[in-house]
Amino acid sequence: MPLVYLGLGSNIGDKEAHIAQALRLISEICEVKKKSHLYLTEPVGNCHQDWFLNCVVEVETELDPKHLLSCIKSIERTLGRVKTVKNGPRIIDIDILFYGDQIVQTKNLIIPHPLLQERLFVLQPMMDINADFVHPVLKKSIQELYKNHPKNQKILLHE
């Protein structure tokens, strides 16, 4: 089974509880192998909102990418996520960052996540769990992407 990396974020209400609930539900459909530290990160895009709590998990699953996405969207709805404005506040956000070395491009799903190399809130937690993972499109390791990131986003280790 391929290793899959999921990014989780929350910036409404009890962020830590939302992340924990999402992880519990993810563990019902996938085997969670590793979890990064939690990070407080400033919002990207729509900056007039609370900071996010973010992490990345490494999972194994027998679900193909399309079915995994369907399950993830179901988890988001179960936890109360409602689509509002683009880059707006959210109870929970779960993204498929990588699905092994697969490259997927459909109307509803792009893997690897197309913006992850620009997002410190993804690269920092990925450094915690697999700095040597090589981006299948960019052909660079997470460590290289992290090193070359301008570090223009604020990110704090959540204690």
| Domain spans of the chain, in order of start | 3-157
Residue 152, class by beta-carbon neighbours within 10 Å (0-12 exposed, 13-18 middle, 19+ buried)?
A: exposed
pLDDT exceeds cutoff 80 at 88: no
Mean pLDDT of 132-145: 97
CA gap 129, 5 in Å, rounded: 10
For 109-128, what is each residue's pLDDT tens digit? 999 999 999 999 999 999 99
Mean pLDDT of 122-150: 97
Q: What pLDDT shows up at residue 66?
A: 96
Please compute Rg for the chain using Cα positions: 15
CB burial string 10-48: b at 16+ within 10 A, e below: bbbeebeebbebbbebbeebbeeeebbebbbbbbeeeee
Q: What pLDDT shows up at residue 90?
A: 87
CB burial string 90-106: b at 16+ within 10 A, e below: bbbbbbbbbbeeeeeee
Terminal Cα-to-Cα distance of the chain (whole angstroms): 33
Mean residue pLDDT of the chain comes to 93
Q: What pLDDT shows up at residue 85?
A: 66
Residue among 145, 54, 146, 137 at smallest CA distance from 99: 137
- For the entire predicted model, the pTM comes to 0.95
Q: What pLDDT shows up at residue 87?
A: 67
Residue 90 structure tokens = 């959210």
Q: What pLDDT shows up at residue 12?
A: 93
Residue among 49, 59, 62 at smallest CA distance from 22: 59
Q: What pLDDT shows up at residue 124?
A: 97
Q: How confident is the model at residue 99 (pLDDT cuts 50, 70, 90)?
A: very high
pLDDT exceeds cutoff 90 at 102: yes
Q: What CATH class does 3-157 carry?
A: alpha beta
For 23-58, what is each residue's pLDDT tens digit? 999 999 999 999 999 999 988 766 678 999 999 999
Q: What pLDDT shows up at residue 38?
A: 98
